[in-house]
Structure formats: C-alpha cells, structure tokens
C-alpha cells in the first residue's frame, strides 16, 4: 500500500503488539525452530533484521539462513496481527503466495523466488511466507523519490527506460491467465469494475462505521458509478502497480512485490494506478516548492509505452486516474481514522482534510486537474 512516512511508521508501531515480536532474537529463535520443520534439522536461521522500508500493511523481516548447507538471504512477509486493528479487515497472505506462484509459473514477470507459505499463526503469531531476497533498489516513498533519490539523480533517458520497462512488466502481468490465480471473481451479473467499486465501497463503509464520513469520497463514489465505462476486457491486475513496489537492477525491474490488492478487471486499473501514484508524489513535491519529475510516467507516455509493448491502447484514463485517486483517498481516510482512533492524530474539523490529495481529487472531479499537466 502506498502511504506516507508518519502514517507508515505509526502503523508499524501498532502492528507489532508485543515486545517479543519486535525483538529480532525472539523472531530468529522462532524462525529457526520453524525452518527445521520445512528444510530439515540442519537448516538454520542465523540472523533476523527488522528493516524500515516502504509500505505498512504487513511486516517485512530480513533473515539470513543456511538451507542444505548453502547461505540464503531471505525475506519473511508476515501478516498483520488482528489485535493491531489492521488497515484492511481481512488479509489472505497464503492467497498472495499462491498468486505469486501462479504468475511465476505462467509468465516471465520478474518475481522473488518463493520458499514456503505458513498459514498457521502459531510459529510467529501471524501467517507468513518466505521468499529470497532480491538485490537492487526501490524508489523510496519516504521521502518520496520525487524529492531527491536515485530516480531524480538519473538522466532523463534512464528514467524513460525505467518507465518503459515498468510499463512493460504490467503488460506481462496482464497476459497471465486468470484461471488458477485464486483472485476473487465478480458476483453473478457484475462486471469486474462494478465488483471493484462494490468492494471499495464496502471497505469505505467499514472504515467509516464510527460515524465520521467524507463528503469528498462520497462525491467520488457517485461520480465513479455514474461515469463507469462499459467494459470489454478483463485481465489479471497486480493492484498495487506502482514503481515503489518494484525492485530495480539499474533501471530494469528485477522483482515485482506486494500482491495484496490483486484483482481481475480492466488493464487500466493498473495503468492508471501507476500514473496516479506518481502524480500523487509529484503534487506533494510541487507543493513543497520543488520541481520533482513532471516529465516522468506521464499519462500519454505510459499509454504509448503500454500500446507499444502489448498492442493494446489504454482507454478511459481520465476515468481510471480519478478512480485511482478515489481508491487512494479511501485508503488514506482509513489510515487517518485509524490513527485518530489510536490517539496518534487529531481529527480535523473538515473530514476531507484527512485526504492529503484532496485538491487533486477535487480538481479531477471538477475536470480541471489535467489542464496544465502532461
């Protein structure tokens, strides 16, 4: 999930409810006992480190292990524990593992090597899965890569290549068979986009069950229902398709991470999310008085790159970028109401102020956002 610094850090605080689960040595002992049940008695976990990294919806641990006598650098992705009042009401980590397995088996999308999934919460306090660590670099969320990062330090040509190759990864994901992916299908009589909207609305209603609601989000839903395009095509969508979820080797994607928002739907869900999340960071950067990267991942260039890589012309990007801004608004709203609930943030007088990009969403709804933007 995309999130900002303070939110992410606060989320992590709560997401580890006991001291022991923050203690690398406790985690190492537990993982060490567990790995022997999977890889034999001579397997060993020699070190566990808790990194500070992008994202907040699950925990990521780094581990060093010996498996069949060979050293292995592992990443352990742990589901959030229920007591932490997670951002999302349900979390199917084993389903994510199976989906990655499916994409690995049916496409050449770059993915981390998978080792094991452990759905039983007993060993670590929550389900988890184990994958190999992939070397490379990730565009940071904190501070956003648009401020100052290896991405801003790259040349325009390097960034163009990075964008082109990232979009090309989307086309590979979209060529994966839906059958066998395990992703929840729409209900009888619903299009995949209708199903997506329904789930997003259910999530919003769950997040606003304490009474506060956001007029802007509700306006966004009304607009999204009213302007919903008729769909012709459905593909497997990654869901959280942003460059902050890609590990790069140089400027080439080496691994695609974070499959928890995967869905079936129009390919534009992923295309627009990639464009929008960049715009989200870019808008923040401009508000801070910096240039950022206004020529990177532009709507037109992403559409051109997607067409060139796949033969499919993206459609309705006005709609899908607004819809992306709405998805992000709902997630931010949930993160903020949760932070207020935990006493980590104060409720603003205007609930729409919980949405950091409210001006963007308002301008999109007014039809004025893209006027001066590429």
Ligand X SMILES: Nc1ncnc2c1ncn2[C@@H]1O[C@H](COP(=O)(O)OP(=O)(O)O)[C@@H](O)[C@H]1O
How far, in Å, CA of 373 to CA of 361, rounded? 14
Active site residue 240: yes
Is 55 a binding residue for Mg ion by CB under 5 A? The answer is yes
Closest residue to ligand X, based on beta-carbon distance = 55
Residues 44-63 that bind ligand X (CB under 6 A): 53-58, 60
- Selection from Mg ion, ligand X, none that 57 binds (CB < 5 to 8 A by kind) is ligand X
Q: Which is nearer to ligand X, 60 or 304 (CB)?
A: 60
- Selection from Mg ion, ligand X, none that 197 binds (CB < 5 to 8 A by kind) is none
Question: In this structure, what is the dihedral angle of CA atoms 156, 312, 101, 151, given to the nearest 10 degrees?
Answer: 10
Question: Among the candidate windows 99-107, 210-218, 252-260, 309-317, which touches Mg ion by CB under 5 A?
Answer: 252-260
- Selection from Mg ion, ligand X, none that 58 binds (CB < 5 to 8 A by kind) is ligand X
User: Which H or E element spans position 288?
Assistant: none
Among 258, 270, 283, 305, binds ligand X (CB under 6 A): 258
Is 134 a binding residue for ligand X by CB under 6 A? The answer is yes
- Selection from ligand X, Mg ion, none that 354 binds (CB < 5 to 8 A by kind) is none
- Selection from Mg ion, ligand X, none that 134 binds (CB < 5 to 8 A by kind) is ligand X
Among 152, 171, 181, 245, binds Mg ion (CB under 5 A): 245
> Over the range 333-343, which residues count as b (16 or more CB within 10 Å of their CB) and which as e?
bbbbbbbbeee
Is 166 a binding residue for ligand X by CB under 6 A? The answer is no
Is 59 a binding residue for Mg ion by CB under 5 A? The answer is no
Residues forming a β-bridge with 70: 67
Is 208 a binding residue for ligand X by CB under 6 A? The answer is no
CA atoms within 13 A on the CB side of 306: 26
C-beta atoms surrounding 304 within 10 Å? 15
- Selection from Mg ion, ligand X, none that 364 binds (CB < 5 to 8 A by kind) is none
Closest residue to Mg ion, based on beta-carbon distance = 55
How far, in Å, CA of 342 to CA of 46, rounded? 36
Q: Which residues contact 260 (CB under 8 A, 6 or more apart)?
A: 1, 57, 58, 88, 91, 96, 239, 240
Binding mask 63-102 for ligand X (x = CB under 6 A): ------------x---------------------------
How far, in Å, CA of 352 to CA of 289, rounded? 23
Question: Among the candidate windows 23-31, 253-261, 270-278, 356-364, which touches ligand X by CB under 6 A?
Answer: 253-261
Is 245 a binding residue for ligand X by CB under 6 A? The answer is yes
CA atoms within 13 A on the CB side of 123: 22
For the CB of residue 38, give the shortest distance to ligand X in the complex, in Å: 18
How far, in Å, CA of 3 to CA of 8, rounded? 6
Please name the residue that has the structure tokens 């999340």: 277
Q: What is the DSSP letter of 115?
A: E
Q: Which is nearer to ligand X, 53 or 143 (CB)?
A: 53
Number of residues that bind ligand X (CB under 6 A): 19
C-beta atoms surrounding 185 within 10 Å? 13
Out of 7, 141, 240, 305, pick the active-site residue: 240
For the CB of residue 99, give the shortest distance to ligand X in the complex, in Å: 13
Contact between 237 and 265 under an 8 Å Cβ cutoff? The reply is yes
How far, in Å, CA of 82 to CA of 203, rounded? 17
What does each C-alpha distance from 135 to 112, 207, 254, 341 come to in angstroms? 10, 37, 8, 38
CA–chain centroid gap for 121, Å, is: 23
- Selection from ligand X, Mg ion, none that 133 binds (CB < 5 to 8 A by kind) is ligand X
Is 131 a binding residue for ligand X by CB under 6 A? The answer is yes
Catalytically active residues, by annotation: 240
Residues binding ligand X (CB under 6 A): 1, 53-58, 60, 75, 112, 131, 133-134, 138, 245, 247, 255, 257-258
């Amino acid at each position: 999930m995309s999130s900002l610094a303070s939110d992410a850090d606060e989320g992590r605080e709560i997401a580890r409810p006991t001291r022991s689960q923050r203690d690398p040595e406790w985690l190492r002992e537990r993982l060490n006992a567990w790995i022997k049940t999977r890889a034999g008695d001579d397997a060993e976990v020699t070190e566990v480190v808790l990194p500070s990294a992008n994202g907040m919806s699950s925990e990521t641990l780094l581990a060093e292990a010996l498996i069949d006598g060979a050293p292995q650098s592992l990443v352990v992705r742990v589901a959030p524990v229920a007591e932490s009042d997670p951002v999302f009401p349900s979390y199917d980590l084993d389903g994510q593992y199976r989906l990655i397995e499916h994409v690995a088996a049916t496409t050449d999308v770059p993915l981390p090597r998978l080792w094991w999934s452990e759905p039983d919460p007993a060993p670590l306090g929550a389900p988890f899965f184990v994958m190999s660590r992939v070397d490379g670099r990730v565009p940071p969320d904190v501070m956003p890569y648009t401020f100052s990062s290896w991405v801003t330090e790259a040349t325009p040509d390097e960034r163009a290549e990075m964008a082109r190759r990232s979009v090309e990864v989307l086309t590979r994901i979209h060529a994966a068979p839906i059958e066998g992916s395990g992703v929840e299908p729409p209900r009888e009589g619903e299009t995949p986009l209708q199903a997506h909207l329904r789930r997003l609305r259910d999530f919003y209603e769950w997040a606003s069950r304490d009474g506060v609601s956001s007029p802007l989000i509700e306006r966004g839903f009304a607009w999204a229902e009213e302007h919903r395009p008729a769909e012709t095509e459905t593909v497997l969508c990654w869901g959280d398709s942003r460059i902050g979820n890609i590990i790069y080797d140089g400027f080439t994607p080496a691994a695609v991470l974070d499959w928890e928002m995967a869905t079936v739907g129009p390919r534009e869900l992923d295309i627009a999310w990639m464009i929008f999340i960049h715009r989200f960071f870019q808008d923040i950067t401009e508000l801070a008085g910096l240039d950022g990267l206004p020529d990177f991942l532009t709507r037109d260039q992403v559409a051109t790159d997607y067409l060139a890589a796949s033969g499919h012309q993206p459609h309705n990007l006005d709609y899908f970028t607004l819809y992306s801004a709405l998805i992000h608004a709902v997630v931010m709203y949930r993160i903020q109401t949760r932070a207020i609930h935990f006493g980590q943030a104060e409720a603003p007088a205007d609930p729409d102020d919980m949405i950091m990009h409210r001006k963007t969403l308002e301008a999109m709804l007014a039809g004025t956002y893209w006027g001066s933007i590429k």
